[in-house]
Structure 1
Amino acid sequence: MRISLLIIVALAVVFLGGDLHLQAAVAPSETIRVAIVKNAGTVVVDGDGLLATRETGEAVALVPPVSITGGRDQLIVNGTAFRQLTFAASSAVKINGKPYRGMVEILPGEKGLLAVNQLPLEDYLVGLINCEISSAWPIEAVKAQAVIARTYALNRKAARKNAVYHLESSVMDQVYDGCLIEDSRARRAVEETAGEVLTYNKSIIQAFYHSSCGGKTEAAENVWGASVPYLKGVECEYCLTNPSTSWEQKLTLKDIDEKLRAAGYKVTGVTDLRPGPRNERGRLRNIRAVSGQGEVAISGDQFRKAIGYGIIKSTNFVVKVANGEAVFSGYGNGHGVGLCQWGAKQRALDGFGYAEILTYYYPGTQLKRFFEIS
């Protein structure tokens, strides 16, 4: 019993003991739960002074590194079954070699093991900055990133309050890789905006953002079908100074055919791609894939998803088909909705503060501390 109590106290120290001034400036108990591993066959847990508890809260004596495999609705460690394991460490818990602040829970998932990192929100933001942009960018751009990442996280937390986790650690939500690439500038940006979020009509907004828009940000309804007053799209020539805003990709029609069929589209032997009309923001509404079975119209965003978001970087492109190949030439990187990260960088270089940057990309919003929102 004494060992269990010591473990619980130690877990609390590890979990809450980080940068207390950061946590106090926001809300002492504000945490976030992030899925850092999904559908894994094995998870290896390590760390200095590693502490483990089982689903009952009882301490478990495990010698690191701890190799965990998945069984049917259970975890297996050295032949012993558990329903859940929670880990903390003196500095960071290492999951498959990557360090994470706070605590990490390992649970059986639908298709393998699930690892969820629970940590103070502000520490999460510090770890996130260099995954999304570079903290070496002008500090006002870094502060803008801190605010929208905090806003996005709290919005998702509210929407998923009953879920096992609030956020993915990938481009499905926000890219987060633990505390390995934290630095002082990232922490400064988080500290200097502590607790600040963007609001509209006294509610935390859906703070979507992307890498570069290619000249115009996109309206939310053109991507997700829902009109949002602060996500109508704005003019943005700022990201055009970034050489990577323009892109080109070459794919064989055979590759495209295979990717479309894998995504469930009824095509066989694609022979041509015909761009459809463009929306008012200049992006393709759809593209028609021509094959022996006729034409299939695919929305621009779904075409990107089927071929690969990293291949077709935006829906602002033209395509030329010849000799069994398709050459795509486009502008921008991402869905185009909300803040343009490269545009924010240039606006900061031009002398704009982070509040001005944010209200430009999210018109009609207000900057507030989230615990003051009525």
Structure 2
Amino acid sequence: MKALRSILIILLILVAGHSSAALRPETIRVAVVKGVETVTLDGNGVLVTGPNGEPLRLDPPIELRRSRDGVTVNGRPFSRIVATAAALVRVNGKGYRGIVEIGPGERGLLVVNELPLEEYLIGLINCEISSAWPMEAIKAQAVIARSYAVFQKAARKNAPYQLESSVMDQVYDGADQEDSRAARGVQETAGEVLTFNGRTIQAFYHANCSGHTEDSREVWGLSLPYLRGVPCKYCQEANPSRWEQTIPLKKVEGALKSAGYPVSGIREVRVGGRNESGRVQDVQITCSRGKVSVPGVAFRKAIGYGVVKSTNFDLLILGDDVMVAGAGSGHGVGLCQWGSKQRALDGFSYREILSYYYPGVQFSAAYSRPE
């Protein structure tokens, strides 16, 4: 009996240790400001240290300026500055948890926020969707944002930061966007990621697919089994997203030239082929030198993501202008956020929602190594 009790105790310790390791605290490094000449730090109880960890006696607000070799504070040069606070460090008015590092970037100052991944996710929810949405949609967003962050952390492990705070990765404006519903969605999925063949997936997502999500091959030339296009009527019910833009022909020509396409003297712009999801495969341009074919994805990038909101569009020349009329918003790959909202309203759980938009994935209760 005594031996059995000892074995049970050992097993309990091993299980506890395994659980602790599985749900170990993960941190993430996010670039929150890039390419500026000055940054202002503020907040209650802010501690500012130099590169060697020495505390600096400074009264907030503190203005930091870009110098040739790093950062200057009150005329004193440093290679970098680190700021922490018991509550929030405010950078240009926005509050951030964890550690804030300020140093030289490629074009101006670079501000990186390092914080626990789960706290990052709570701040992210209201930047990517709305915490007023159904809880199952919030949970779905938490899982895919966590999966994407874990994947990028491994992919950029030697970089100064792992994530942009913009649509280039995931939109994040700090702790000011937190609320109790966002926290609940993150906490009720704590540590959960999507995996394929045991590895955390690159969980791309977008706002509105307008009827059919896109295959990753069509956007990035890389075919991933869990990023295949699927039909999606749900976003059209929740948020029928149609848009229209009129752009001067000269502006279109200039944008395409800047992107490397020889399109001087444009006479005609029309949609060429479409892929299986109905999105533009290529744009055919007739100009003074002949015809030029521009991939739909490249055309959207050149003209601007805020102007051509998706690759589901039509083109029409109106005198000296080009009218671009389309539907949907984003690259179309992976989860459709407005579709997810409607599916949640229809009674689907977050796992059912995610299994639909990412075919063949599994759910892991712990962080796992990405591909």
TM-score, normalisation: structure 2: 0.91
Question: Which of 110, 125, 150 is the matching residue for 2:106?
Answer: 110
Equivalent residue pairs, number:
351
The correspondence of residues 1-374 of structure 1 with structure 2, limited to 5 A, is 27-371=23-367
Q: Aligned-pair distance for 1:26?
A: 7.2
Structure-2 separation of matches of 1:132 and 1:234: 22
For 2:15, the equivalent position in structure 1 comes to none
After superposition, the C-alpha distances for 1:184-218 in whole angstroms (9 at most, x for unaligned) are 11000000000000000000001000001111100
Q: Aligned-pair distance for 1:28?
A: 4.2
Q: Aligned-pair distance for 1:255?
A: 2.0
After superposition, the C-alpha distances for 1:34-84 in whole angstroms (9 at most, x for unaligned) are 000111111111111110111111111122111111112211111100001
AA aligned opposite 1:190: V
AA aligned opposite 1:76: T
AA aligned opposite 1:202: G
AA aligned opposite 1:238: Y
The 8 Å contact of residues 271 and 324 in structure 1, kept in 2 or not, is answered as: no
Range moving further from structure 2, 299-308 or 115-124: 299-308
After superposition, the C-alpha distances for 1:252-309 in whole angstroms (9 at most, x for unaligned) are 2122122222333222232221211111221111112222232221111111111110
Q: Aligned-pair distance for 1:25?
A: 10
Range moving further from structure 2, 279-288 or 263-272: 263-272
Structure-2 separation of matches of 1:281 and 1:244: 17
The 8 Å contact of residues 208 and 328 in structure 2, kept in 1 or not, is answered as: yes
Q: Which runs of 4+ in 1 moved over 3 A?
A: 24-29, 371-374
The 8 Å contact of residues 193 and 367 in structure 2, kept in 1 or not, is answered as: no
Structure-2 separation of matches of 1:295 and 1:240: 36
AA aligned opposite 2:230: V
Range moving further from structure 2, 219-228 or 289-298: 289-298
Q: Aligned-pair distance for 1:233?
A: 0.8
Structure-2 separation of matches of 1:70 and 1:169: 21
The 8 Å contact of residues 218 and 234 in structure 1, kept in 2 or not, is answered as: yes
The 8 Å contact of residues 300 and 310 in structure 2, kept in 1 or not, is answered as: yes
Give ranges in structure 1 of 5+ residues lacking alignment: 1-23
| SS of alignment partner, residue 202 of structure 2 | coil
AA aligned opposite 1:75: V
| Change in 2 beyond 3 A, CA 1:329/1:29 | same
Structure-2 separation of matches of 1:142 and 1:353: 11
Cα-Cα RMSD:
1.6
Range moving further from structure 2, 52-61 or 78-87: 52-61
Identity of aligned residues (%): 56
